[in-house]
Amino acid sequence: MRRRVVVTGLGAVTPLGNDVATTWLAMRAGVSGASNISKFDASAFPVRFACEVKGFDPLQSMERKEAKRADPYTQYAVAAAVEAMNDAGLANGGFDVDRTGVIVGSGIGGLKSFEEQHDIYQKRGVSKISPFFIPMFIADIASGVVSMRFNARGPNYATVSACATSAHAIGDAMRTIQYGDADVMICGGAEATVTPMAIGGFANMTALSRRNDSPSTASRPFDATRDGFVMGEGAGIIVLEELEHARARGARIYGEVAGYRATGDAYHLTGQLPDHEGLQRAMRGAMQDGGLTPADIDYVNAHGTSTPLNDSNEAKAISLVLGASAASVSVSSTKSMTGHMLGAAGSVEFIACTLAIRDQLVPPTINLATSDPDCCGLDFTPNASRKREVNAALSNSAGFGGHNVSLAVKRYQD
């Protein structure tokens, strides 16, 4: 009998809001987080907009000295972790520190710090490189800082798998609890890539939408006129607990993490197998792991990047995996509102699935005017959220390098 794992805390910093409640209200309302880039002068760039985190104050969750020595991606992770632990009722202790771990990943890490310190080196020489540069930049440091914040001395590491990063973190945290290596896990991902190099690099590989005249309508997953994703940033952190541990302390339970499967394409640096076959295997594996059938799935939060290749491939994968049940399943891409948060995407989308179950409501895919006929006629919940029964959901993630993850979450029942 493997141990059951439940969700007891949620935290988020997103382009829609700097906490879960604000983010979820905006998702439910179909609000876009996209606007012209304000974090640097993008006037000469081919893409001049993004889904930025707005009005964020790291001093709400970190001391001034600590914040000064942390890249924004770490600041976002700490803020989301503090919210999640408060939400779980664990921020002030009440847990065995040796049985509490942290897995917080980042697809790219402290890119802003890297760019800034390289600029200092070029202009002022090697002696002016900050002694804090390396811990500001490396992709594992957010996990370490979060562990120190809560004195969590259990398993601690970062996942790095591009846009599947935080989905891997959640799945690995689930397994850690199931295997008995921890009772509580703080998990998820963070990203801060609205920077010149990230925007320029993704733009030059033609991955980003170029709708500079209309940022709020640029992210349009599954629409026939989609032309690329919109860069997003932020963090999503989840507190997972072993069921009996949560029950013993009277914790509020959002839902149960039912299944997890990670697969690899072994195919292409940035492309996907036909019909997203690797993601098909991940979805089937997550359902099998959770004892679920296609008929049990009510909602799929799609990877749904708004890129021509991904969306049609993923739609085919969903249709093939769910079969006859696909017609009755609600699908949506919340990236239409948050943009693509890269290493933080999977955890924020898992939060959306968890809240969809709590509220019996599916968030929309906004900017969907003309559904692509190559997307299998699925119900993509266009433009407006929808009340419906949601007892089980899949959250899909995929990343450059051929990484695929599907997570299954379901309503908690004794």
What range does the domain containing 383 cover? Answer: 259-410
Question: Is 254 within the bounds of a domain?
Answer: no
Q: Is 340 a catalytic residue?
A: yes
| pLDDT confidence of residue 1 | 78
Catalytic option among 163, 187, 353, 376: 163
Cα–Cα distance, 161 to 169 (Å, whole number): 10
Indicate if 234 and 349 belong to the same structural domain. no
Catalytic option among 340, 353, 375, 376: 340
Output the CA–CA distances (angstroms, integers) from residue 73 to 230, 268, 325, in the order listed.
18, 28, 39
pLDDT tens for 319-373 read 999 999 999 999 999 999 999 999 999 999 999 999 999 999 999 999 999 999 9
Q: How many beta carbons lie within 10 A of that of residue 368, not counting itself?
A: 22
Indicate if 24 and 67 belong to the same structural domain. yes
Indicate if 397 and 323 belong to the same structural domain. yes
Question: Is 228 within the bounds of a domain?
Answer: yes
| pLDDT confidence of residue 274 | 87
Q: Is 51 a catalytic residue?
A: no
Q: Is 268 a catalytic residue?
A: no
Indicate if 61 and 191 belong to the same structural domain. yes
Question: Is 253 within the bounds of a domain?
Answer: no
Catalytic option among 303, 353, 376, 403: 303
| pLDDT confidence of residue 48 | 98
| pLDDT confidence of residue 249 | 96
Indicate if 267 and 315 belong to the same structural domain. yes
CATH of the domain at 194: 3.40.47.10
For the residues of 275-296, what is the DSSP string, one character each? GGHHHHHHHHHHHHHTT--GGG
Ranges of residues in the chain whose predicted pLDDT is under 50 = none
